[in-house]
Structure 1
Amino acid sequence: MSATLQTQSSQAVGPVFDRGEEIGFVTLMLAGMLCGVPVLAVREVVTNSKIVRVPLAPAEIAGNINLRGRIVTAIDTRSRLGLDQAPAAAERVALVAEANGALYALLIDQVLEVLSLPADQIEELPVNFGAAWRTYSKGVHRLADRLMIVLDLQALLSFQP
């Protein structure tokens, strides 16, 4: 049985950032790092879903989940970003988004809260972030006590055949 939190989504993968406006971000934890994705890009958050492995799939594909009868590809976000694997016993949360007419579930460690932040305060990534972070993020947002990495869902969900 899976617990699901529904969110409104009018766009697949999310808006382009317009300067001078506030953007709602779903904040999440990924390998101890605070990240955010535009709230309008998130279809829903799913917990306790069973992942069925896909033989010969790339390491970034964790498998498939059944979302109310629809097959959804589960992406191992840690692997996609070149991070250490989650402990085997760790509970993972699936953040569901749509790209090119298909649903994808990004496996993350934890969903935190929704923050409304000014779009014009997103800065470039610091130079010490690696190539994967540069490919899969739009920059960082300075919060009072830490940086929030703004993930680029379009890039994370783009796969070359």
Structure 2
Amino acid sequence: MTATASHGTELLLTLQVGGRLCGLPVSRIRDVIRCERIARVPLAPPGVAGLLNLRGRIVTAVDLRDRLGLPPAAPDAARMNVVVEERGELYSLLADGVGEVLSVNPESRDDVPHTLRGPWREHAVAVHRLDGGLLIELDADRILAFGARSGGDMRR
């Protein structure tokens, strides 16, 4: 279910990933915090940055850059955790930055173009036309389902 504002508009939290403007439905967001110390996990699947402690809860950190096929962020980059909940578990989606909440009209929404390939196509559900460019709407479920084809779905 997607958070909606008045007149059928959708609320999306904007975030930056590799210089691209992306969005996630506000209804999926539980918290947004600065990147904390992340403990690396040996033999973790690709895309899992590690674990972090969020007010006493262990949270799996998932690197959006890795999930979207982008090069790693600089080691000293100030990143943000966008916390989502899936099946009672918390996951942090590591983004390069977090912006504002946008109210987008259904008229601005287009299907993901066929020219968008690879991981971007797998994890995007729509592209929104904005005055200043485009916003790629990501699907948190798809991001967390990595390895599902090989039995490694994070959401079990």
Specify the TM-score bucket, using the shorter chain as the normaliser. 0.7 to 0.9
The CA distance in 1 between the partners of 2:35 and 2:141, in whole Å, is: 25
The gaps in structure 2 that reach 5 residues or longer are none
1:21 alignment counterpart: 8
1:11 alignment counterpart: none
The gaps in structure 1 that reach 5 residues or longer are 1-13
CA contact (8 A) 1:21 1:120 kept: no
The CA distance in 2 between the partners of 1:119 and 1:43, in whole Å, is: 24
> % of aligned pairs identical?
43
- Offset at 1:134? 1.4
The CA distance in 1 between the partners of 2:60 and 2:28, in whole Å, is: 16
The aligned amino acid for 2:22 is C
- Offset at 1:16? 8.4
1:154 alignment counterpart: 141
Q: TM-score, normalised by structure 2?
A: 0.87
In the alignment, which of 105, 122, 142 is matched to residue 118 of structure 1? 105
CA contact (8 A) 2:2 2:10 kept: no
The aligned amino acid for 2:28 is A
Query: How many residues are paired up?
Result: 146
Q: Give structure 1 regions of 4+ aligned residues with deviation exceeding 6 angstroms.
A: none
CA contact (8 A) 1:62 1:75 kept: yes
1:68 alignment counterpart: 55
Please list, as runs of the form range in 1=range in 2, the aligned pairs for 1:48-59 lying within 5 A after superposition.
Answer: 48-59=35-46
Deviations 1:19-39 (A, max 9, x none): x71111100110000001111
The CA distance in 2 between the partners of 1:145 and 1:121, in whole Å, is: 12
2:78 alignment counterpart: 91
Deviations 1:53-106 (A, max 9, x none): 001112200000100110000001110111111111111100000112211000
2:95 pairs with 1:104: no
Question: RMSD of aligned C-alpha atoms?
Answer: 1.7
Larger helix share, 1 or 2: 2
Deviations 1:85-140 (A, max 9, x none): 11111111000001122110000000011111113431122332112111101110
